[in-house]
Structure 1
Amino acid sequence: MIKPGIPKGTRDFGPVVVRKRNYIFQTIRETFEVFGFQPLETPAMENLSTLTGKYGEEGDKLMFKVLNNGDIFNDAQAATDNKTLVSAITEKALRYDLTIPFARYVVMNQHELALPFKRYQMQPVWRADKPQRGRYREFYQCDADVVGSNSLLNEVELLLIYDTVLTKLGLQGYELRINNRKILSGLAEVIGKSELLTDITIAIDKLDKIGAEGVRKELTERGLSAADIVTIEQFLAISGNSDEKLVQLKELLQSSPTALKGIEELDFVINSGYGNFNTTPVIDVTLARGLNYYTGMIVEVKAPATVKMGSIGGGGRYDDLTGLFGLKGISGVGISFGVDRIYDVLEELQLFPQAAQQSTKVLFLNLGEASARTAFSYMMQLREKGIAAELFHESAKMDKQMKYADKRGIPYVIILGESELQENLVSIKNLADGKQEKISAAALLQFEF
């Protein structure tokens, strides 16, 4: 006998969970559509060459490779070098995120697209990460991206999408943290180590996890001098409100034109006056986001401090992402929602509305052939009005049928006994308060369930 199980880091979702997740998906999708974004889907698998080298050294290690078809054992034995060996075993991988596949799609369909192209995508991705709360090996991303526009208004609008969705979901106390990769590039320029930009950003990105001492140790191991690390620590120590941080950044990085450009861009996003935010974005100089393709503003959404959860969304500007596939000069900017983490946050804070947890609103009790036939007719009329209704599948004791309704969380039951059938009435019972009333069959369609 095979013991049933699922791969580590994956999950089954029962009806109650799926309904709550769909509530999140629907809220995000409706917001994307209102902001003028178009839907897109790409394959679960991409060519390994499409994905490799786009997420940094650590990202490459976390890709799920897909074995080639055929006799890979003989092909591997025939390989003459490492490159041939790898291609003999695997040439495909499950997608790591939705952004690189989107860039690949844009390049392949560049002549059919009207730029700027605003797309949203809501599909699962896979990462061979160590499973833990809020971190899974299979999870959904919900992305919105704009390509073909350099305007910083796109950054403002994407931040407003975050703000709109999280407000609709009833979440309070979240943080929209922003930074700019040009500022981080400028920091590397100031210390004369531009070639170590990736190493610096990877180390800074771990500040929350390994602390200042851990970052210092990692920077040392990556070849930075004590003087370099002092400057980086001065950078990380910048504090105050966003305007005060901008002043301090200008003073520390004044010798870098690249950094000054990034500071100017941040200033626009913070102070342009476009958009009315419920939660104002704040500058976080420690925010690095360790993905290689970001070149401008970067953003990360932090869950409320009352919940032990990391980021629930993130993204940024990538000025030459399509250039990786031969299409130069196409700028893009995008964001992503971490639906699985958002679900955990809403669940912990008990923010799911009752409507998001219910399916059937009305259960008609099955009290015999005559009752069932009449109930079925009424049930179909309610369904035509968009009211979810069902008839218990068999004639059974009323207690059994009531227990079914209670277990399913169905708020109303309708009883059609002999007296109701004779008088052309229906008895409606509210299971929440126990109240029961009789109304005419004609009034049933106007009843407020």
Structure 2
Amino acid sequence: MQKPILPKGTRDFNSEELYKRNYIINIIKDNFLKFGFNPIETPSFERSETLLGKYGQEGERLIFKILKSGDFLKETNIDEKKELKYYDLSPKIIDKALRYDLTVPFARYVVQNQNNITIPFKRYQIQNVWRADRPQKGRFREFLQCDADVIGSKSLMQEIDFISLFDSVFFDLNLSGCQIKVNTRKLLIAICDIFDCQDKFTALTNQLDKLDKLDEEVVKDNLIKADFKPNVVNSIFNVIELSKNFTDNLDLLKSYFQSSEIGTEGIYDIEYIFKYFLKNNLIKSELIFDIGLARGIDYYTGVIFEVTPPPNIKMGSLAGGGRYDDLTKIFGLKNMSGIGISFGLDRLFLIIEELNLFPEIPINSVKVLILNFGNSFSYDLIEIANLLRTSNVNTEFYPDAISLKKQLNYANKNMIPYVLFYGEEEKKNLYYNLKDMNSGNQQKLSKDQLLKVLVEN
């Protein structure tokens, strides 16, 4: 007999885990609503051309592609099959893919619904995504993303608002010590302009994106292997170091980028954002400017974000995002700048669990179990259950007339706080016998008294 096993990178969730996940989701959702976002949903899979070519070389290889149903090579002879290359074969057998993120499907949604939405358009989306990544702690192949985006505005006020949204969520989750890292792709483009290596921009962002996973010296070596000159690599890491003390080194950074128009724009954007938060001191998280932040996805064009856990917690980013100016253009809609962020639910779950920050969450929603004293009371049990449920009391009855000890053990194991005895004596004398499983106290109650106790406690 085959032993059942889950695919790598996927998980089952028990009731306790789902209650805890919903605790996080509800906090994120409440903040999305508080900041003016409304929900949408998109399909789990998209046409392959919608997704392919949007995430860069690293992201492209992680997309789960879906085989067409049917044998599309049936009409091809054996010799032709041997000669087929991947790029010839792929369109014949693949035309759909599981979504890699929620942003590209959102851009597709905006273009398809442009006549039915109001610009600027704000939406949130909480759905699963899939990536063919190597599973490890905090990294899965199927995971839930919690996204919020605004499309149709270039205002830097949106960047400030998203930083405030990050901070509000982490405050409500009691996660102190998180760092909100900020950069702009404009400065990374400027670095390539300054050193005349524009053709190596993707190589630069791909390597910088690995700084949270690899030692700095390894990343430097990788850049040199990608044909960056050693003096250029040293200069890049010098300016990364300067950026970490933004307020003290602002003049030096302005001087460094003054020969690049896009670099000057980038410094202005960062200064505008930091000035607001330094002036108002409104956030509790640590705000850090880090030119080494790259966010390896191709569609980012402006300010980018990443939220990392407190330094004593070894885990990847908890949230991230950024501005994208050209994403809808690939679907035929120009001049529609957008910005969005995403929270990684699974990593948030792991860190909140590790820090013991979950409130006391019941593993069972049932408040009362009605005990079963035999078939002659079966209709009574159902009627009592319906009476209690009508008053919004979560109620379960035991379906089989097994020993009382086993029924009480069931209530204890499932942490059900009350059990209700309703047998021959209770039915004859028109009362209900309610037992508090925590204190052991039992009460003989009328119908109104029973409802009062269970509704109020």
Taking structure 1 as the reference length, the TM-score comes to: 0.92
Residue in 1 that maps onto 2:115:
111
Change (3 A) 1:240 1:89: closer
Gap change, CA 1:307 and 1:360, over 3 Å in 2 = farther
SS at 2:235 equivalent: helix
- Partners of 2:254 and 2:267 within 8 A in 1: yes
State the match for 2:304 in structure 1: 298
Q: The residue matched to 1:354 in structure 2 has which SS?
A: coil
Q: CA contact under 8 A between 1:20 and 1:356: conserved in structure 2?
A: no
Counterpart pick for 2:363 among 357, 367, 380: 357
Corresponding position of 1:8: 8
Q: Does 1:173 align with 2:154?
A: no
Counterpart pick for 1:330 among 327, 336, 348: 336
Query: Aligned pair in 2 of structure 1 residues 382, 75: CA closer, same or farther (>3 Å)?
Result: same
Query: How many pairs align?
Result: 449
Q: Match for 1:346: what amino acid?
A: I
**Aligned partners of 1:75 and 1:93: how far apart in 2?**
24
Query: Alpha-carbon deviation of 1:437?
Result: 4.3
Aligned equivalents of 2:214 and 2:383: distance in 1?
64
Counterpart in the other structure of 2:94: 90
Q: Which residue matches 2:129?
A: 125
Q: Are positions 1:48 and 2:48 aligned together? A: yes
Inter-CA distance 407–119: structure 2 relative to 1 (3 Å threshold): same
Partner AA of 1:218 in structure 2: N
Shift of 1:190: 2.1
Equivalent residue number for residue 38 of structure 2? 38
* Residues 245 and 283 in structure 1, CA contact (< 8 A), matched pair in contact too: no
**C-alpha separation between the residues in 1 aligned to 2:121 and 2:142?**
28
Residue type of the alignment partner of 2:272: F
Of 250, 254, 266, which residue of structure 1 is paired with 2:254?
A: 250
Q: How is 1:273-422 mapped onto 2 (pairs within 5 angstroms)?
A: 276-355=282-361, 357-368=363-374, 373-416=379-422, 420-421=426-427
The 8 Å contact of residues 174 and 301 in structure 1, kept in 2 or not, is answered as yes
SS in 2 for 1:237: helix
Q: How far did 1:129 drift?
A: 0.7
Which whole-Å CA distance do the structure 1 matches of 2:255 and 2:438 have between them? 63
Aligned residue for 1:260? 264
The answer to whether the 8 A contact 2:244-2:288 is kept is no
Native 8 Å contact 2:244 2:289 kept in 1 = no
Q: Does 1:138 align with 2:142?
A: yes
1:445 and 2:451 are equivalent in the alignment? yes
Distance 1:376 1:433 in 2: 27
Residue 167 of structure 1 and its aligned partner are, at CA, apart by 2.4
CA distance in 2, matches of 1:280, 1:356: 33
Alpha carbons of 1:409 and 1:66: their partners in 2 closer, same or farther (altered >3 Å)?
same
2:214 partner SS = helix
- Counterpart for residue 153 of structure 2: 149
- Structure-1 separation of matches of 2:251 and 2:377: 77
SS at 1:432 equivalent: coil
Q: Is the deviation greater in 386-395 or in 414-423?
A: 414-423
- Counterpart of 1:201 in structure 2 is 205
Q: Counterpart of 2:318 in 1: which secondary structure?
A: strand
Q: Classify 1:171/1:411 alpha carbon distance in 2 versus 1 (closer, same or farther; 3 Å).
A: farther
Alpha-carbon distance between aligned partners in 2 of 1:332 and 1:299, rounded to the nearest angstrom: 14
Alignment correspondent of 2:196? 192
Whether the 8 Å contact between 1:176 and 1:299 is mirrored in structure 2 is yes
How far apart in 2 are the matches of 1:261 and 1:373? 75
Match of 2:29 in 1: 29
Q: Tell me the C-alpha RMSD between the 2 structures.
A: 2.4
Q: How big is the shift at 1:435?
A: 4.3
- Letter of the 2:204 partner, please give it: I
Contact between 1:371 and 1:421, CA under 8 Å: does it hold in 2?
Answer: no
The offset of 1:240, in angstroms, is 5.2
SS at match of 1:73: coil
Counterpart Cα distance in 2 of 1:377 and 1:247:
77
Change (3 A) 1:106 1:239: closer
Q: CA separation in 2, counterparts of 1:126 and 1:223?
A: 33
Q: Aligned-pair distance for 1:248?
A: 4.2
Call closer, same or farther: CA 1:384–1:323 in 2, change over 3 Å.
same
Provide the secondary structure at the position in 2 that maps to 1:238: helix
Q: Could you tell me how far apart the structure 2 residues matched to 1:253 and 1:221 are?
A: 25
Moved more, 329-338 or 159-168: 159-168
Residue in structure 2 matching 1:230, options 230, 234, 250? 234
1:439 deviates by 4.4
Could you tell me which amino acid in structure 1 is paired with residue 7 of structure 2? P
Shift of 1:400: 0.9
Per the alignment, residue 20 of structure 2 pairs with: 20
Q: Secondary structure at the match of 1:104?
A: helix
Q: Deviations over 1:123-147 (max 9, x none)?
A: 1111111111111111111111110
Single out whichever of 329-338 and 410-419 deviates more from structure 2.
410-419
- 2:21 partner amino acid: R
Alpha-carbon deviation of 1:416?
3.5
Deviations 1:264-303 (A, max 9, x none): 2222222225793232432223211111111111111112
| Shift in alpha-carbon separation, 1:436–1:182, aligned structure 2, 3 A | farther
Seen in structure 2, the aligned counterparts of structure 1 residues 416 and 160 have a Cα distance that, compared at 3 Å, is: farther
Structure 1 Cα separation of the partners of residues 413 and 312 of structure 2: 31
Change (3 A) 1:348 1:106: same
Structure 1: distance between partners of 2:118 and 2:377: 59
Q: Which moved more, 1:220-229 or 1:234-243?
A: 234-243
Structure 1 stretch 285-294 or stretch 30-39: which is displaced more?
A: 30-39
Q: 1:323, 1:20 → 2: CA distance?
A: 39
Which runs of 5 or more residues in structure 1 are unaligned?
Answer: none
Q: Once structures 1 and 2 are overlaid, which stretch shifts more, 145-154 or 428-437? A: 428-437
Matched residue type, 1:261: E
Matches for 1:211-230 after TM superposition, within 5 Å: 211-230=215-234
Q: Deviations over 1:74-111 (max 9, x none)?
A: 36646766543221121221111111111111112222
Q: Which whole-Å CA distance do the structure 1 matches of 2:184 and 2:75 have between them?
A: 46
- Long gaps (5+) in structure 2: none
CA contact (8 A) 1:156 1:275 kept: no
Deviation at 1:424, TM superposition (A): 4.5
